[in-house]
Chains A and B, each alone.
Chain A
């Protein structure tokens, strides 16, 4: 088990018709998460100046 509690978190970002965003958080099985997407938390940490909320 990793020491990082957030590395397996994946977020699907969806825009509603009225412009509001919806964030679906999911935790795929570890072998899928390894190849599906980088950690959403780490994405945010690596790009703190980007507008990560644009969907």
Chain B
């Protein structure tokens, strides 16, 4: 059962999805539900023997296209809503092994096109206020299937982090008369210390305010809000920048680095949001090869992140590896 429960302390919705307890958990490769269905083989989620990129509705959705009524009664203090929306799985490739870091540039460009298409279609649904494209990679993040894939959630509200970014971007526009992210891009480029990749149309850097040791944000130089606004040369440059970053990550400790990738676009709630600037955020959990950054007391209990590293020191390591990956 799924429903939305209102948290009046924080002013945000929580999604309950108890059926997800039963989802497939790290199956052996012969039982991978994201591999194509081969003749005579296991019937998987994908009923064709081959494909380029596939999107399908999650068998264990958090948000539903046709949501049932909440199973519990709310109250004026703690209202409940149907968990309407969408939960999609994006399978990057028919190949079971590998990652985006090992994908061809053409495949990554096509993946960006799929993300853009899903954002347009899901965002056009009147009940969808935000389309969130993301990837959880690696068991350290809690991934339950190893086959290269990402996910898309279409929420009937603007999630808290995005709402705060939209609000602060709008406030910055009112106060400074400029785009917050354009200003951050310029600051990082001028300073130079936190730059990781300085490409033609995109810039990757460890933010001054990074919460995670090797957190990186990739932003387009041009002010735009959605992936579908990108030109072909910008998509190609994004694919190259993305792959360089992921290869730098994999070179950092000598193994395929786990991460969360979050694509931050404008809401689709009908508001203007012209101040908001598309960008991608990456949060690897590793602070060393063998030590993870956990969301502990300060982070989970107070919402205040403690970063054990300096962005000015982590960025040069990633920058050197990204330069090598670009050769």
B273-287 interface mask toward A, CB cutoff 8 Å, 1 = contact, 0 = none?
Answer: 000000000000000
**Distance from A22 Cβ to chain B, minimum over Cβ atoms (Å):** 4
Please, what's the 1-or-0 string for A7-23, where 1 marks a CB less than 8 Å from any CB in chain B? 00101001010001111
Nearest B residue (CB) for A50: B124
Give which listed residue, A22, A41, A48, contacts B113 with CB less than 8 A.
Answer: A41
Is A31's CB within 8 Å of the partner chain B?
no
Number of interface residues of B (CB under 8 A): 34
Interface string of A24-55 (1 = CB under 8 A from B): 11110000000000001100110011111100
Contact between A4 and B232, CB atoms less than 8 A apart: yes
B residues within 8 Å of A by Cβ?
A: 45-48, 51-57, 59, 65, 86, 109-110, 112-114, 116-117, 120-122, 124-125, 228, 230-236
Distance, CA A5 to CA B124, complexed state (A): 20
In the complex with contacts A5-B230, A9-B117, A23-B124 CB distance below 8 A? no
Interface residues of A, count at CB 8 A = 28
On whether the beta carbons of A41 and B120 are closer than 8 Å, the reply is yes
Docked Cα-Cα span, A12 to B272, in Å, equals: 32
Nearest chain A CB to B294 CB, angstrom units: 35
- Cβ contact within 8 Å between B124 and A52: yes
Cα distance A44–B125 in the bound complex, in angstroms: 11
Interface, chain A (partner B; CB < 8 A):
1-6, 9, 11, 14, 16, 20-27, 40-41, 44-45, 48-53
Query: Given A2-B232, A5-B235, A48-B124, does the pair A24, B48 have CB atoms closer than 8 Å?
Result: yes
Task: Report whether B55 and A44 are in contact in the complex, using a CB–CB cutoff of 8 Å.
Answer: no
B52 touching A45, Cβ below 8 Å: no
Q: State whether B53 touches A25 (Cβ < 8 A).
A: yes
Q: What's the Cα separation between A20 and B65 when bound, in Å? A: 9
